[in-house]
Copies of this chain bind each other. A is one copy, B any other.
Amino acid sequence: MVMSVDLDRNVVLRGEVELVERAGRLFSACEEFACAATDLKTWALPGFRDRLVAERHRIDPPPAAFKLYSPAALADEESERHLVELARAGLRVRICPAPIPHETILVDRRVAILAGPAAGGVREYTVVRSPSVVKGVVSLYWATWETAVELAEYRRDRPPALSRESRRILGLLGGGLKDEAAARRLGMSLRTYRRRVAEILTLLDADTRFQAGIRAHEFGLIG
């Protein structure tokens, strides 16, 4: 299926659903994918991200992916963990100290998608193909990228944002409780408890529980 496209005509898509339908193909079949956003709530479409990540596995070589976020993307535990997992999966993630006003996506440096404000609950996405416009956006993007700091480096010195529950778990771990006792104390299953612990280890960049203990204390998450 080949579409002829007027390069100078911007296309406006309304809502994430339409975006995925019309431009989703672009994302999975590209060599370079770059995006910028303030936080992770932007792509709220359920399951969409997972599908994209899953597709990365099937493509060889996987597209180079660059993700630029403001610090707000690490505001809560879940978002932060998600970023860490992205980085672990091979995506490049950087944090830009300045807030990022508009969400931006760049595909192969040829197509730009700019997100507008929500109009009546539905956000608008403008797909730009005009070479000169895209070129400008691209150069801006990379300039910002350069000044931003690598996720790992950004996270190195600051404690992860942990939920109340996670802090509670840290307390139990610090108390020397075995998993079974701790799970019982929290009224959850052993399986779930261990899921939580594994998530915390991920957030602490720890390979072993010993290391996690150090990190947790380092960050003042214990006493």
Chain A interface residues toward B at CB < 8 A = 173-178, 206-218, 222
Contacts and interface: CB of A to CB of B under 8 A. Distances in A.
Contacts of A206: 176
Contact of A173 (B173, B175, B210, B217): B210
Secondary structure class of chain A's binding surface, majority of residues: helix
A174 B210 contact: yes
A202 to B, nearest CB: 13
Given A176-B206, A206-B176, A214 B217 contact: yes
Nearest to A207: B176
Of A173, A209, A213, A222, the most chain B CB neighbours within 10 A belong to A213
21 contacts: A173-B208, A173-B211, A174-B211, A176-B206, A176-B207, A176-B210, A176-B211, A177-B208, A178-B208, A208-B209, A210-B210, A210-B213, A212-B213, A213-B215, A213-B216, A213-B217, A214-B214, A214-B217, A214-B222, A217-B217, A217-B218
Contacts of A222: 214
A179 B186 CA distance: 30
